[in-house]
Structure 1
Amino acid sequence: MNVQTKDGLLQDGAGYVVAADHYISPEFAKIEAEKLWYRVWQMACREEEIPNVGDFYTYDIVDQSIIVIRVATDEIKAYYNVCPHRGRTITEGCGHAARLFCKFHGWSWKLDGTIAKVVDRHEWPEESLTDDDLNLVPVKVGRWSGWVYINMDPDSISLEEHLAPAKAYLDPYDIGGMNYHWRKSTIFDCNWKVALEAFNEGYHVQTTHNQMLRYMDDWTQSYARGRHSHFGYWESMPMGSRSARLTDGKPTEDIRPGIRDYMEDMAATLNAGSSVQTVFAARRVEQEVPPGTPPMEVLAKFGQYIYENAASQGLQWPSITPEQMYAAGVDWHLFPNQIMLMGPTGLLGYRARPFGNDPDKCVWDVYSLQRYPEGQVPKVEHEWSQDHGDVDFWGLILTQDYQNMGQVQKGMKSKGFKGAKPNPRQEIAVINFHRSLDDFVENGYAQ
């Protein structure tokens, strides 16, 4: 049972335990494949990865492979990535095709999935090989905020229904107006949920990222919103405040230096969550806003300076109010496996996927989106690295997170581990995720 109050809290979160088998069991991984991945809406790629007609992206999830392809200027389709002749996959990675082509025996298909050519088709009796037998099998597609989603269940609810109520909180950010700043991937030696949950709560900051306590109060409030969830910070401890752990709970009187340090550190150690516009605005706040200005007025000036700097560079600013940003918080988990930390000028996104059917490994994707002036969107390469301690490649903050992944997976197999016990306030998102997962495995989208 998942009893959510109107304000997104859980009435019965205390004492909740996640069984270790949910992370380490091959049997549970098989259940997830059949009951979750084969019938849930899941993000496959961004539209900018397939900008032209004929561009395709190969999306792999557990033992299934899907072709996502742009078939017209404003139409994207998806098909199971398999030749109906002898079962060879048709595409690998990303690319462009005038026609989809099987490299085994040379069969080909038009972009709309209909059969174009069967080599020596005359050797089959006409009634034994119809076009319906040969067309690629379609997969349901949805689009939102620049992302392309797929669902292998043709009878599923719509993507819009799946995204509710999170969509209402996130639409004001105009994420569709952002483009890749960078994108990186790796393979972790842990379950996909272990990786995902490390970025689905702020409770770990006081230990894993304790260098950040000097400019941010790490105590967060987490909320459940249907199957989705998010967390944010208290208005009484705004950005730029020193952690209450360092001040005996006393508020920071001057948050201006903290805002500057926060933005400069995000730019230097994460290369996301900050931008040229936000760093410039933070420095301007410290120089131009008088000491003693109330914190909320300082933040208002910070937002004003970001807007002014963005406008001077031709950037389109979203129509979002401070009230909407506060309600949205800073970190969203879209069920089942997409996480984003968003702001008006950019977004840091994460995705975790099973590595085939192995419960001890996962594919990890992390990317930064930013706003760019028209005509100045950069070409971004998709980078991979298996060196999880490479600060130059990942940045300090991510390498700090990565050191926990394999160690958590190893620890969960201990005979001394009795199950995960999420914090009933700061880790509501983790509790809600597992309750939603259990419910979806049992009932799908049925309410």
Structure 2
Amino acid sequence: MASQSVERPGAARCPGLSVQDLLRADSRPVPDYLTRESYEFLGDEDIPTERYTSPDFFRREIDRLWPRVWQWACREEHIPEPGDYVVYDFGPYSVIVVRAEDGAIRAHRNACMHRGTQLKPSFSEGSAGQIRCPYHGWTWHLDGSLKSLPCAWDFPHVSPERYALGAVRVETWGGFVFVNLDPDAPPLAEYLAPLPGHVPGAVFEDRYIAAHVQKELNCNWKIASEAFLEAYHVMETHPQLMRTNGDANTQYDVYGDNVNRLINVAGSPSAFIEEPMTEQAILDSFLIGDRGDVTEKLMVGEGETARRIMAQFFRDTVAARGGPDLSATTDSEIVDSIAYFVFPNQQFFSGISFPIVYRFRPDGMHHDRSIFDLVILKPRPKDGTPWETAQPVRLASAQSFTTVPGMDPYIGNVYDQDTGNMEAAQRGCMTLGRPGVTLANYQEVRIRHMHRTLMKYLED
């Protein structure tokens, strides 16, 4: 049970080892960005269920939120050559991200300036020397400037200057290409702060997409995102993880309006597990599923810990595969889940052993349907070994993650447990019988932080 001795709201913490306790025992000096905590009590009011269930509320989000926020649309390696393009769709909006003739990355609204026809199919990618409307043949250069139109004599009122494709703000960080429909949006670096100051962009630039799953979900996009903003659910949803996961001892931090963080430790059992756990038992439980090529049993020596053995195992594994030198990288940065949420819909995990990126977006104009992008990034080999960017695998809501080619069944089952919760939460909010849902002061502060920023956009 958590301590009930509370000096002020949000001050209570689960007893036992904290994240900072474990960081002090790290085998390497831990950087300041991990040792500095940044929690803020944001209130304890219920979150109105209409934010998940109301089509009218969803329409406000479509009108006032989604056209004004930065979100990653693709990776730079998706568009390596001039003419390469990716179509990114969110809600009713569609953007073409393209590598122009001069090598610059451009983004355009995916709509013909003639009669609004979508220029490229949703969720598509490919390569083309120009952008041509499939309806009447109006054509644009890759930079968005008007190239030609059939029967130009009949359009004396059309000038190339006024009929360039609708420009979309585009910037890059960490190998990700971000877009924003708002021409007056703040610069990306300002929007992402303090993430770039905590995690160098090179951490993500030096990785490639080893797997990408797009799963359709029968729930509001916020319910989907919130499932990964707390570790409070682990003890009930993922009991198989409790032997190596410090669920209730997770650290939560909030920064400004757009960024918050979770540090969930590995190699530290749940405070709620009743069986006694030796360091060897913790290590044996951790090395289940897709944790690398374990060819022989790893042993915890006298005076060592499972966390240190895990970290060294990954240092050695990455080096053997031609990856980057991790000799100076801390145990925490290797084995822990260090997740940065960037408003409104994306999470970046900087850890080596959990190299995941999440993205959540509305599925068209459906308030109760969303798309969950699960991306697994692996280090690019430094020895010249070839790598290939994985193509998205699309799953219907009823399909299991375990059916994805190459997906470890153990990991796939974890995500099935998560997505099952999401759809149950959507159905439950419709029949709850009271107007709001309740959040924990500390463990669910990231959800409240997200909603605080959400309402700033909707009430602005």
Pair 1:412-2:391 in alignment? no
**1:183-202 matched pairs, under 5 angstroms:** 183-202=212-231
Equivalent pair of 2:337/2:354 in contact (CA under 8 Å) = no
Partner of 1:107: 138
Equivalent pair of 1:4/1:224 in contact (CA under 8 Å) = no
* Structure 2: gaps spanning 5 or more residues: 1-8, 12-35, 405-411
Partner of 2:386: 376
Residue 255 of structure 1 deviates from its aligned partner by: 2.4
Partner of 2:307: 299
Equivalent pair of 2:361/2:370 in contact (CA under 8 Å) = yes
TM-score, with length taken from structure 1 = 0.85
Q: Distance in 2 between matches of 1:299 and 1:357?
A: 45
User: Which amino acid letter does the alignment assign opposite residue 224 of structure 1?
Assistant: V
User: Which amino acid letter does the alignment assign opposite residue 272 of structure 2?
Assistant: R
Partner of 1:270: none
For 1:299-346, what per-residue CA distance to the aligned partner results, in whole angstroms no more than 9, with x for missing partners? 345433422332233212469642873999522211110023332255
**1:169-248 matched pairs, under 5 angstroms:** 169-171=198-200, 174-219=203-248, 220-226=250-256, 227-233=258-264, 239-247=266-274
Q: How many residues align?
A: 415
Question: Of the candidates 301, 314, 333, which is equivalent to residue 325 of structure 1?
Answer: 333
Partner of 1:386: 396
Q: Distance in 2 between matches of 1:385 and 1:312?
A: 33
Please say which of residues 200-209 and 358-367 is displaced more in the overlay: 358-367
Residue 19 of structure 1 deviates from its aligned partner by: 0.5
Aligned sequence identity (%): 29
Q: Distance in 2 between matches of 1:207 and 1:256?
A: 24
* Structure 1: gaps spanning 5 or more residues: 268-273
TM-score, with length taken from structure 2 = 0.83
SS class of match (1:246): coil
Pair 1:259-2:259 in alignment? no
Q: Distance in 1 between matches of 2:369 and 2:401?
A: 22
CA 1:40–1:431 in 2, change beyond 3 Å: closer, same or farther?
same
SS class of match (1:401): helix
**1:29-178 matched pairs, under 5 angstroms:** 29-72=58-101, 74-92=103-121, 93-125=124-156, 128-171=157-200, 174-178=203-207
| Higher fraction of helix | 1
CA 1:12–1:363 in 2, change beyond 3 Å: closer, same or farther?
closer
Equivalent pair of 2:217/2:372 in contact (CA under 8 Å) = yes
User: Which amino acid letter does the alignment assign opposite residue 396 of structure 2?
Assistant: Q
For 1:356-378, what per-residue CA distance to the aligned partner results, in whole angstroms no more than 9, with x for missing partners? 22211112211211113234213
Equivalent pair of 2:262/2:339 in contact (CA under 8 Å) = yes
For 1:207-233, what per-residue CA distance to the aligned partner results, in whole angstroms no more than 9, with x for missing partners? 110111122222122221222111124
Equivalent pair of 1:173/1:343 in contact (CA under 8 Å) = no
Q: Distance in 1 between matches of 2:331 and 2:391?
A: 36
User: RMSD of the alignment, in Å?
Assistant: 2.6
Q: Distance in 2 between matches of 1:25 and 1:402?
A: 21
Partner of 1:434: 451
For 1:262-305, what per-residue CA distance to the aligned partner results, in whole angstroms no more than 9, with x for missing partners? 2323x1xxxxxx444xx56xx66x33x41x3243xx53454334
For 1:233-258, what per-residue CA distance to the aligned partner results, in whole angstroms no more than 9, with x for missing partners? 4xxxx52233221248x7x4x32442
Equivalent pair of 1:223/1:230 in contact (CA under 8 Å) = yes
Equivalent pair of 2:245/2:268 in contact (CA under 8 Å) = yes
Equivalent pair of 2:310/2:335 in contact (CA under 8 Å) = no
Partner of 2:323: 315
Please say which of residues 210-219 and 70-79 is displaced more in the overlay: 70-79
SS class of match (1:384): strand
Equivalent pair of 1:196/1:352 in contact (CA under 8 Å) = yes
For 1:418-440, what per-residue CA distance to the aligned partner results, in whole angstroms no more than 9, with x for missing partners? 31211111111111111111123
Residue 135 of structure 1 deviates from its aligned partner by: 1.3
Equivalent pair of 1:275/1:346 in contact (CA under 8 Å) = no
SS class of match (1:304): helix
Q: Distance in 2 between matches of 1:346 and 1:426?
A: 21
Equivalent pair of 2:10/2:442 in contact (CA under 8 Å) = no
CA 1:169–1:73 in 2, change beyond 3 Å: closer, same or farther?
farther
Please say which of residues 355-364 and 194-203 is displaced more in the overlay: 355-364
Equivalent pair of 1:142/1:149 in contact (CA under 8 Å) = yes
Q: Distance in 1 between matches of 2:92 and 2:367?
A: 13
Equivalent pair of 1:317/1:344 in contact (CA under 8 Å) = no
Please say which of residues 139-148 and 408-417 is displaced more in the overlay: 408-417
CA 1:423–1:217 in 2, change beyond 3 Å: closer, same or farther?
same
Residue 108 of structure 1 deviates from its aligned partner by: 1.0
User: Which amino acid letter does the alignment assign opposite residue 53 of structure 2?
Assistant: I
Q: Distance in 2 between matches of 1:40 and 1:379?
A: 26
CA 1:138–1:173 in 2, change beyond 3 Å: closer, same or farther?
closer
Q: Distance in 2 between matches of 1:379 and 1:201?
A: 30
Residue 196 of structure 1 deviates from its aligned partner by: 0.5
SS class of match (2:118): coil
User: Which amino acid letter does the alignment assign opposite residue 100 of structure 1?
Assistant: I
User: Which amino acid letter does the alignment assign opposite residue 232 of structure 1?
Assistant: I
User: Which amino acid letter does the alignment assign opposite residue 215 of structure 2?
Assistant: T
Residue 123 of structure 1 deviates from its aligned partner by: 2.8
